[in-house]
Structure 1
């Protein structure tokens, strides 16, 4: 299946009303502790295929805008040289409930996280991982190799769920959920050996968009809702991997056939920006889509960013992170952008592309991520 079919599949998942998050009526799973080392297979675990993922072949996606690397560093992945870990024992506490926000239908959705804690002395910096999923999924089990790589290097890593569009959520709800997770972890810092003064966020795709929004809204209390409001949701570092910026222009860099085929996704995005009852695309509401754009919120005091994007990404155009990078730099915010040559949109193994993840787990691509976390959170 072509990459564009994934876009269509995500839209089908939205239309079906399904969500991979915890059921609003399900009881809380009992937290469990397990010892974990680096996974034996460094290719990330396959996410569940979205509804409709077995649909017929889609047209080949074509970027019609050249990839601009003028303000970025180009990385050439070497899939033969994979990241290594296993230096320390990493314990995992799974299915920790951190919030139960209300959905559009009035029911509560219990949000869960998996927390990896390296067994080293003293409090450790925290990295909150926000998974992608086209705003319709929130699989906290994804990207295990890279999460374990960070935990092995001495970071507590918490992978979280958040409300998604099939829940009737908007982008503001998802941001509030990420900030709720940060506050929860600060409130329970001693339970998980966390240094509450050193917190970073890291997200892929939709998660990349959300962590960018979280980083540039440090101190903005409109997104601080729910429990643990005596704790700060501010972060000290942001890792944005192939996330969007302007949600009204997600398809604008692709050819006409690709734009037409992405209509279902843009319907999802319109609802995610404007609300579940909206029938308008995000582009029809300039003021609202501007509020949903991290660039709108940038200020000189924002935390440092590191940004990654594949040059062959056929789901989120590289121009989306380029816009963010240039705006951050213009405002005086510390930001470095890496373009991974030939890489696509992360792990697409559930489409049959079993090699896509290996570019992102290449040692020379993973190393700058770890370097940034070390400099930002351990310095």
Structure 2
């Protein structure tokens, strides 16, 4: 088979697998979300990844022990309806799963936002890592949100996350939550939504729905391999991957412009600017922790760098870790069972827990 045919076959495999991808993170179970109209896939693997600047970041090579669950008993509350927005003329229930450690007192809240290329949002994703964080003394909520198959755009995504923040603050006493200490943590598309949520503290345009008497502001953001400027999402990649990511009317374009668009995210526009968390940074923006693999083939590593540098230039606390040789989280859906290991090490996860401890429990 020629190189061109091998690449075509690989792209076809990724398009099919991309529609099955739930979070690019560990231990994904269950079903949820909807494919976009026409079956357009959001994900394509690059064959080459250009090295990006690490001068403002910390480079690590996590190869040590994996996290282990079982330190603390955790109570699960699943399928809690936190919002019921109207989708295509009908109310659609959005649900979350909650993990509450069985320890005394109110606990800080961490809201986990799964990935899925804006095509899927499975709240059952990443159970091992979510449980590990809960066992460190945090109430952890994993949420679903509207996808592009449900007409979602960059406007509705952050609105859904903020609805979950407000709902959980309104029910803080019921679940033993310290309502004044809330962080968001996302991976891939979820990392992007976490960034949008944290940069828009105090921006009421994304506060719609119920519990509007509650604040949607968060006190910390963990962004694992999330996008920022979608017009540069493939900037570190080979031409074939760039062409796929910037194709007119694809899933990324649908996320920005809406269903049926013929636009490309590569083209500058007011909508592209409005979809970029960098443009919302203000004095109210939450502190950030970003993590990205140096060999990420789905979202250019420079995406978190752009956001990290922009945050620091505006005086916002921001730390960024680059995982040497790491790809885009768990890629076991492709048959690669090793890719997720750097993300599940005690070293990597303890950087996240240390950040949460500082911002929420310090």
Whether 1:361 aligns to 2:344 is yes
Q: Determine which of 286, 304, 328 is the counterpart of 2:311.
A: 328
Query: CA 1:10 to 1:295, structure 2 compared with 1: closer, same or farther past 3 Å?
Result: farther
Q: Which moved more, 1:294-303 or 1:280-289?
A: 280-289
Which residue is equivalent to 2:322?
A: 339
**Deviation sequence 1:145-191 (CA, Å, 0-9, x none):** 11001100000000000001111111110110000000000000011
Alignment match, 2:71: 87
1:99 aligns with 2:91: no
In structure 1, what is the equivalent of residue 3 of structure 2? Answer: none
Contact kept, 8 Å, 2:246 with 2:266, in 1: the verdict is no
TM superposition score normalised by structure 2: 0.89
Asked whether the equivalents of residues 14 and 45 of structure 2 are also in contact (C-alpha less than 8 Å), the reply is no
1:374 equivalent in structure 2: 357
8 Å contact from structure 2 (residues 249, 262) kept in 1: no
Equivalent residue number for residue 261 of structure 2: 278
Matched residue SS, 1:68:
coil
Unaligned runs of 5+ in 2: 1-5
Q: Label 1:5 to 1:240 Cα distance change in 2 as closer, same or farther (>3 A).
A: farther
Asked if 1:72 is matched to 2:66, the reply is no
Deviations 1:6-54 (A, max 9, x none): 75237767xxxxx98xxxxxxxxxxxxxxxxxxxxx952367699899x
Give the whole-Å Cα distance in 2 for the aligned partners of 1:343 and 1:97.
35
Q: Are the equivalent residues in 1 in contact too, given 2:245–2:252 (CA < 8 A)?
A: no
Give runs of aligned pairs for residues 204-353 of structure 1, distance below 5 A: 204-262=187-245, 267-353=250-336
Q: Deviations over 1:121-142 (max 9, x none)?
A: 1100000000000010001111
SS of 1:238's partner is: strand
Is the CA contact 1:237–1:373 (under 8 Å) kept in the aligned structure 2?
A: yes
**Aligned partners of 1:47 and 1:350 also within 8 Å:** no
Counterpart contact for 2:185–2:194, Cα < 8 Å: yes
Does residue 61 (structure 1) correspond to residue 47 (structure 2)? The answer is: yes
Distance 1:60 1:133, change over 3 A: closer
What root-mean-square deviation, in Å, do the aligned CA atoms of Structure 1 and Structure 2 show? 2.7
**1:30 is matched with which residue?**
none
Distance 1:117 1:167 in 2: 30
Assess, with a 3 A threshold, how the Cα gap between structure 1 residues 169 and 6 changes in structure 2: closer, same or farther.
Answer: farther
Partner SS state of residue 115, structure 2: coil
CA distance 1:132–1:304, change in 2 (3 Å): same
Using the alignment, how far apart are the partners of 2:235 and 2:100 within structure 1?
Answer: 41
Partner of 1:170: 153
The alpha-carbon distance between structure 1 residues 189 and 231, as it changes in their structure 2 partners (threshold 3 A), is: same
In structure 2, the partner of 1:139 is 122
Distance 1:267 1:43 in 2: 26
How much does 1:265 deviate?
9.0
Structure 1 position 266, deviation (Å): 6.5
Distance 1:43 1:102 in 2: 31
- 1:59 is displaced (CA, Å) by 7.8
TM-superposed CA distance for 1:286, in Å, is 1.5
Deviations 1:237-268 (A, max 9, x none): 00000000011221232111222344569611
Question: Is contact 1:77-1:364 (8 Å) kept?
Answer: yes
- Distance across 2 between alignment mates of 1:77 and 1:377: 25
When the two structures are aligned, how many residues end up with a matched partner? 347
